[in-house]
Amino acid sequence: PKDAVRILVTGAAGQIGYALAPMIARGIMLGPDQPVILHLLDIQPVAESLKGVRMELIDAAFPLLQGILATTDVNEACKGVNIAVMVGGFPCKEGMERRDVMHKNVPIFKAQASALEQHAAPDCKILVVANPANTNALILKEFAPSIPVKNITCLTRLDHNRALSHISERLNVDVRDVKNVIIWGNHSSTQYPDANYAIATTDIGEKSVRELVADDHWIDYEYINSVRERGAEIIKARKLSSALSAASAACDHVHDWIIGTAKGTWVSMGVYSDGSYGIQPDIIYSFPVTCQKGEWSIVQGLKINEFSREKMDTSMKELTREESLAYSCLNQ
């Protein structure tokens, strides 16, 4: 039998944590033959609630779950972890501006970066979910200089999955028969859901989604807006932000990163930019990637038209602004 993999979930007493922990324990993230040990971190004010989550995970008797560490001590939580899913953070409350959220979250990510650097397994792979996800990941990178940048990513897979589902609904095909959408940029309202290379499998084989939809206005406007606005639509309906879909997307992200993407298929991940597609290096930007043997690589050679260029650049500029804002929070 395989050795257990230690997986850290921060913010484990929160909504996403509550949906994510059982998915991991059931083998959704790493497969049905991979035992796991969960490290659950949250903060002191919700320590009781965290205990409750731990009790429920025990009661579920998951065959793959070999241990649970539930703690409010960040150093203890990071000890020996192979995978870290960073969900915890200060939420954006009504009336708060992005700057205020940043002020709360930058110091949290700075502290967690040091804890991971000192205590995590040397090859630890990190997925940042907490918002602002791209910038939190960048802060983490900044304060954990010994962790390879390739190991630090952020979640845009939820946006990617929403994009696949929108197309599947529009074309009335199964979602598994749609692939190669792209989310470029920031996990924010400037993200660019690009369907130019999307493919759907139909009775007559693989076809370009743009051709199948045969409505450029839908692809260039309605689709982009509906993917961007889906999060807000969920908040309106549930009075809470996406949780089960975010947890599921986090599992997909780590799963594909470690197990690999299928041949001819790519996924979207927020990764450290190497300057591909003219995107400023040294920011965490969402690109189309393929994964093999635990390593992601940015898909190369896609032609970018003027319409896409402008949208990709807008999101890049927003990220560079966010980055300076984050640094200004640190210096205060």
Write out the residues near ligand NAX by the rule CB under 6 A: 10-11, 13-17, 41-43, 46, 87-91, 108, 129-131, 133, 155, 158, 187, 241-243, 246
What's the min distance (Å) between Cβ of 77 and ligand NAX? 8
Report the helix count and the strand count for the chain, using DSSP H and E.
Answer: 11, 14
**Cα dist from 170 to 57, 193, 231, 289, whole Å:** 38, 15, 19, 25
Q: Which residue is nearest to ligand NAX (CB)?
A: 14
Dig out the tokens for 306 from the structure. 């003027």
What's the min distance (Å) between Cβ of 319 and ligand NAX? 14
Q: By C-beta, is 142 or 252 nearer to ligand NAX?
A: 252
Is residue 60 within 8 A of residue 18, CB to CB? The reply is no
Is residue 234 within 8 A of residue 241, CB to CB? The reply is yes
What's the min distance (Å) between Cβ of 96 and ligand NAX? 12
Dig out the tokens for 164 from the structure. 């696949």
Q: By C-beta, is 178 or 246 nearer to ligand NAX?
A: 246
Concatenating the DSSP letter of every residue in 174-192 gives -GGGEE--EEEB-SSTT-E
Give catalytic status of residue 187 as yes or no.
yes
**Cα dist from 242 to 84, 89, 271, whole Å:** 20, 15, 22
Q: By C-beta, is 131 or 308 nearer to ligand NAX?
A: 131
Concatenating the DSSP letter of every residue in 143-171 gives T-TTS-GGGEEE--HHHHHHHHHHHHHHH
Which among 103, 160, 166, 187 is annotated as catalytic? 187
Q: By C-beta, is 35 or 185 nearer to ligand NAX?
A: 185
How close are the terminal C-alpha atoms of the chain, in Å? Answer: 51
What's the min distance (Å) between Cβ of 292 and ligand NAX? 24
Q: By C-beta, is 137 or 299 nearer to ligand NAX?
A: 137
What's the min distance (Å) between Cβ of 301 and ligand NAX? 27
What's the min distance (Å) between Cβ of 94 and ligand NAX? 13
Q: By C-beta, is 213 or 243 nearer to ligand NAX?
A: 243
CA quadruple 319, 325, 326, 329: dihedral, nearest 10: -170
Q: Which long-range contacts (CB under 8 A, 24 or more apart) does 236-244 make?
A: 240/15, 241/15, 242/158, 243/15, 243/16, 243/18, 243/19, 244/19
Catalytic residues: 187
